[in-house]
A and B are shown apart, each in its own frame.
Chain A
């Protein structure tokens, strides 16, 4: 069935394109565009780093988007191939080597926008609903259904959708029905159009239907949730808040309890030329919200809960002890300051200096267990038994368990026309038992120092070096990292790097992870070839993570836009 559908989609697309080409006039004004990506790895067995013998010796993930636009109409298809999936991506992708899991047709004119087929969507901050793709994570929870966006009067924006969600090559059994409204007061009320005070308010309602099936308990087949949000801006000041509530939704993440879920996000910002500050607070309780109540890992989330930590970029800071959001419950605050010391001042130097400071504090939520998860799992209780509530929690109180601490500072200074240096210090306290499911029984304390120097040799030639070091007494001990990147604008990059776990308590595991890479860029096309060892670790985007297995071999990446 799926095969047939895929083929028909492809055929239809091809025929449409061909006809369109052969007939003058029909194709006038039609724009065909898209993009393309191939990510391939080869695998050598490397027992010391834990890279297994992969029988197929290689993995390839590829996709191509082809989109045709004419006036108000857009239609598109994405063809994906997994032959087989690159190690670390779900094997579910390998269940079908090639297919077209994403296709849509859209009509958008003036105040109307209608999409049938697949689409991505976000309401507010996404805490109630967000369908998105993060290719590097292998994550795609696109809706398949219908979406209508209307802008009936200035300042009023309404979105409604119905659909089920992508589950690799299948669909969720649960359906999602959702509506969102947003009012921009300054657009709605004409006399406020040019006022400095800007106000927007919004609200969402999301409902999921999933048949109960044969179970020990009676599950709510319809689960509703709602959210309200607002944002005020005045000059350099900005305040925003969003609250989300989800009615009881017994699922595999919460041991099938009948407890409701809720979440709150508050953010305050002030900025002016050369200075910016942002403070954010977040609290989440029992907010796993998925289209299938038995879904696991990163699968089939209807909502998205942003992580409240800085998204780091340096290798040792990103892949060893990253933070992942805990939808079951967490509370935290984050502060972020950026300050640019003026050019020509004593501290700022001739070219100016930028300082960024970031602090994140995340703890467990303050909860009192009513019933132990083990008892809940044994399913000895009746559904209307109050013990099936699971636990009690206070959304506004910090629990005593540290989940994460991140204190970091970055100083970026240009010393001369040709030399720039970025210096960073990062201190993590990570509860890896919670974030990564380890069993260390204690928190990891990691200190990271980074020197990132950029030397512009001439107009087109540059050399960038990164020296990183991690001081840590737990887990795998100290790490050192060095990288040299030669850039030849606008076409070439040559990079050599090495990571060395010289402080590993086990002598035999004091391993080097060298990698060499060449990349060629021509306009919107990029090809890169790397060879080396890939350390087992965690790869995260936006607080969502996937484990990356150890690997030894070639990696080829091709990306292209047209």
Chain B
């Protein structure tokens, strides 16, 4: 028996009017979302080329941390909440590293207008993060980031186990707890 989306799709082929198209599209979007959500568990870090702060190339597939957790945070020099988040984490980051061995990879989505200000800003704030620039948004697209800040947590096996969009003060505490869980070998729902 044909499932509903398939039936509608065939109808679309017979009579592709605008109304049908909108129904189809909505159904399809939802259908595909379901597939996608089911598939979501444990995706690994996609491998694309980004730039290091000295302009040399770096493959994101090479992001590793000896089996310890990794935080990947998308930010930009013009994004206030991003900077609030990364500065808040920076305050206690020494302790985080000591306790859990975590590594933070900060991906700047600044384009040619601001990418030359990334290094001065990072050094100026004395961040102890691995910072890369993604001016062509290849990594941003591969990680399906809509807006910054967008933070991912990767477990010791290199799988994405958690992600969060936007930043409210206090979010860093939740992130810290999750990092501790991973470091203790617990799983994240």
Contact = CB atoms under 8 A, between A and B. Distances in A.
B96 interface: no
A336 interface: yes
10 contacts: A32-B39, A65-B141, A270-B120, A274-B123, A275-B123, A338-B120, A338-B121, A338-B124, A490-B174, A523-B165
A81 interface: yes
A58 interface: no
A311 to B, nearest CB: 4
A16 B118 CA distance: 42
Interface stretch (B51-59, B63-71, B97-105, B179-187): B51-59
B94 interface: no
Nearest to A456: B169
A278 B147 CA distance: 26
Given A120-B137, A132-B137, A200-B56, 8 more contacts: A3-B16, A14-B6, A238-B54, A277-B120, A278-B116, A460-B170, A524-B165, A559-B146
B166 to A, nearest CB: 5
A35 B144 contact: yes
A65 B32 CA distance: 10
Nearest to A308: B113
Interface of B: 5-6, 9, 12-13, 16, 18, 21-22, 24-25, 28-29, 31-33, 35-37, 39-40, 43-44, 46-47, 54-57, 77-80, 84, 111-114, 116-117, 119-126, 135-138, 141, 143-147, 150, 162-166, 168-171, 173-174
Interface string A510-535: 00000000010101111000000000
A521 B111 contact: no
A32 B174 contact: no
A67 interface: yes
B13 A67 contact: no
Given A69-B46, A186-B56, A306-B112, A339 B124 contact: yes
Contact of A524 (B32, B79, B116, B164): B164
Interface stretch (A121-129, A292-300, A433-441): A121-129
A34 B145 CA distance: 9
Contacts of B84: 454
Contacts of A313: 78-80
Contacts of B9: 10-11, 14
B71 to A, nearest CB: 15
Contacts of A271: 119-120, 122-124
A202 B163 CA distance: 36
B140 to A, nearest CB: 10
Size bin of chain A's contact surface: 35 or more
A369 interface: no
B16 A276 contact: no
A526 B144 contact: no
A236 B170 contact: no
Interface in A270-287: 270-278, 280
A65 B29 CA distance: 9
Contacts of A169: none
A79 B25 contact: yes
Main secondary structure of the interface of A (DSSP, over half): strand
Nearest to B47: A108
B136 to A, nearest CB: 5
B36 A32 contact: yes
A561 interface: yes
Interface string A395-430: 000000000000000000000000000000000000
Contact of B24 (A10, A64, A274, A525): A10
Contacts of B136: 120-122, 132
A152 B43 CA distance: 29
Given A10-B28, A338-B124, A524-B150, A561 B145 contact: yes
Nearest to B127: A273
Given A35-B144, A79-B29, A526 B165 contact: yes
A524 B163 contact: yes
Contacts of A269: 116, 119-120
Contacts of B124: 271, 274-276, 338-340, 354, 356
A4 B123 CA distance: 53
Contact of B111 (A354, A461, A489, A542): A542
Contacts of A354: 124-125
Contacts of B162: 523
Given A126-B111, A126-B112, A267-B116, A7 B29 contact: no
A113 to B, nearest CB: 8
Contacts of A120: 136-138, 141
Contacts of A18: 6
Given A32-B36, A311-B78, A340-B125, A240 B144 contact: no
Residue among A7, A32, A233, A488 with the highest chain B CB neighbour number at 10 A: A32
